[in-house]
Amino acid sequence: MAPPLNAEHRPDYPPKTPPPPKRPVEPPRPNEPKTAPVPAARQRVSMANRRGVNWPLESQPWAPTGARKRVIRQLQQWGYRPDGDAVGAMVTLMVKAAVGDGGRRVSLHLADQHEQALVLVLSHQPGPAPDDTVLPRLAKLGASSCGTDNAPDGRRLWVLLDL
């Protein structure tokens, strides 16, 4: 016969608690996309179905000279014979305007299609529109179309050239 249980001898009092889990429990993750949606007001630049190149540039006074050389060299590699002075002057003007925004970097994009080239410069710095003389000067240099827009993530300046 088993000895009677008294208050001093209770083998399972207090009850045993389970051991803590070896890994902390994570709450279930929400079903959200991994990338943030692009606001409808500003879509990313897209140059699909055409060849293109881009170059990140340091926002420094010497950036326009390097940009000018890169664009002319790339157009020549693609088989075009651009007017180097006019194209170079347009690229220089655009990059100078972007450097003037005061950001740390500038992006230069170039694409071609149907004997035309698109040159796009992103300043990555929100700021005022370029002075009122930039777009007329680009048109005077031979741009078939040009424009600019501004958004919280920076300003972009573009020109379309007939080659």
pLDDT digits (tens, 9 = 90+) for 4-54: 555 566 666 677 787 777 776 677 777 765 565 555 555 556 667 788 999
Say if residues 159 and 146 touch (Cβ distance below 8 Å): yes
Which CATH number covers residue 75? Answer: 3.30.565.10
Closest of 54, 53, 47 to residue 122, by C-alpha: 54
- Structural domain range at position 139: 52-162
Say if residues 126 and 153 touch (Cβ distance below 8 Å): yes
Residue 67 located in a structural domain:
yes
Q: What is the pLDDT of residues 113-138, one digit of tens each?
A: 888 999 999 988 876 666 788 899 99
Reported pTM: 0.69
DSSP 8-state secondary structure symbol assigned to residue 52: E
Closest of 155, 130, 142 to residue 45, by C-alpha: 155
Question: Looking at 27-31, 91-95, 141-145, 158-162, which range is the least confident one?
Answer: 27-31
Residue 39 located in a structural domain:
no
The answer to whether the peptide bond before residue 27 is cis (omega within 30 degrees of 0) is no
Residue 70 located in a structural domain:
yes
Residue 47 located in a structural domain:
no
pLDDT above 90 (res 160) = yes
Residue 28 located in a structural domain:
no
How many domains does the chain contain in total? 1
Residue 124 located in a structural domain:
yes
Say if residues 46 and 109 touch (Cβ distance below 8 Å): no
